[in-house]
Amino acid sequence: MLPSLAAFTLLCCPSTPAQSVGVETAHALHIASVADAQSAFFVGTAVCLNDPTRRRFDCFRELLQDYHQAVRLANAQLRERLRVVRLLPPGPYAPMLDPAKLSTKITNRFLPWKPGRTLVYKARDGKEVETTRITVSDKTTMVGDYECVTVRDVVSVDGEVHEDTIDWYAQDQAGNVWYLGEIAKNYEDGLLDNLDGSWRIGKDGAKPGILMLAQPKVGVTYREEFLPNEAEDLATVVSLNETVTVPAGTFRGCVQTRNFTPIEPGVEERKFYAPGIGVVLTVGPTGKRTELVQVIDP
């Protein structure tokens, strides 16, 4: 289908009762992903044609393998996005936040961002030790029209920084903690490699999400962030009364969530939020445990 015809079909033709904005969004992103795969294939072909050190057949075979892999991923993402549609309310995802009704005093029971507090986490992945330090700034940041709490998240592996992220949050009058964006600096071999995953409310259609509900209920699924094809994390509340033991102590009455994104089909995490602290344990898809080891208050 030609791009113009595909866009016209999605934007101008009324949905049938069996469809929804979510379904249409999923198909639009699928078309975009396949187009990206095609573009990468032909750009790669141009590179191969001008590389005298490589046999054209070998180069073409690798490009074709990469193309088919990218299309398989796009198809899996489409299936996952269609599954997500059934978990969320129908209609466009369009949360309306009034800056005047948001607070930088984040007192949510399961995610209290206390100014000056640092949370230290450790995880082992084979012989490597991963350390995460999350620090809540005592200063706020204006993100567009929104005044936000600033939280810095630094992930190091054996002392070398891999990620250095600045996140922005605010709390509404009901007590929901809203996530309004992030600057994600990703490092490789000690050098800044990319800003993948970065987004902020209002830029390129990005919309805020909820990091923790005011009143978590089992079975409820919500978006934590929304920038199509870049930041599409979601969470589902799994339990409200978990007991978790980590180096920092034993925590009771924890909320457990299942965290996932259609961008990475089949990859899930489990997070455990303790009253008065926030996240105390994250269990990754391979079973890796990122555990709270220390809470440092000013």
Return the pLDDT at 1: 47
Indicate if 148 and 224 belong to the same structural domain.
yes
Number of H helices, E strands in the chain: 3, 16
Return the pLDDT at 189: 87
Of the pLDDT bands very low, low, confident and very high (cuts 50, 70, 90), residue 267 is very high
Q: Which residue is listed with tokens 């029209």?
A: 145
Give the Cα separation of 194 and 47 in Å (integer). 22
Indicate if 261 and 157 belong to the same structural domain.
yes
What is the model's pTM? Answer: 0.90
Report whether pLDDT(242) > 60.
yes
Indicate if 205 and 275 belong to the same structural domain.
yes
| Per-residue pLDDT tens digits for 120-149 | 999 988 788 999 999 999 999 999 999 999
- 87, 114, 133 - which closes a domain: 87
Q: Average pLDDT in the 25-41 region?
A: 95
The token pair that represents 7 in the structure block: 């866009």
- What residues make up the domain containing 155? 99-296
Indicate if 144 and 282 belong to the same structural domain.
yes
Q: Which residues pair with 148 in a beta bridge?
A: 141
Return the pLDDT at 3: 54
Q: Average pLDDT in the 16-45 region?
A: 88
Report whether pLDDT(296) > 60.
yes
Q: Is residue 247 part of a domain?
A: yes
Indicate if 62 and 188 belong to the same structural domain.
no
CATH code at position 259 = 2.40.360
Sign of the four-CA dihedral 190, 192, 193, 196 = positive
Indicate if 52 and 112 belong to the same structural domain.
no
Return the pLDDT at 4: 52
**Burial of residue 272 (number of CB atoms within 10 Å: 0-12, 13-18, 19+):** buried
Give the Cα separation of 239 and 219 in Å (integer). 8
Number of domains in the chain: 2
Return the pLDDT at 25: 93
Indicate if 122 and 262 belong to the same structural domain.
yes
Q: Average pLDDT over the chain, rounded to whole?
A: 93
Give the Cα separation of 217 and 96 in Å (integer). 22
Q: Is residue 93 part of a domain?
A: no
Indicate if 127 and 242 belong to the same structural domain.
yes
Report whether pLDDT(252) > 50.
yes
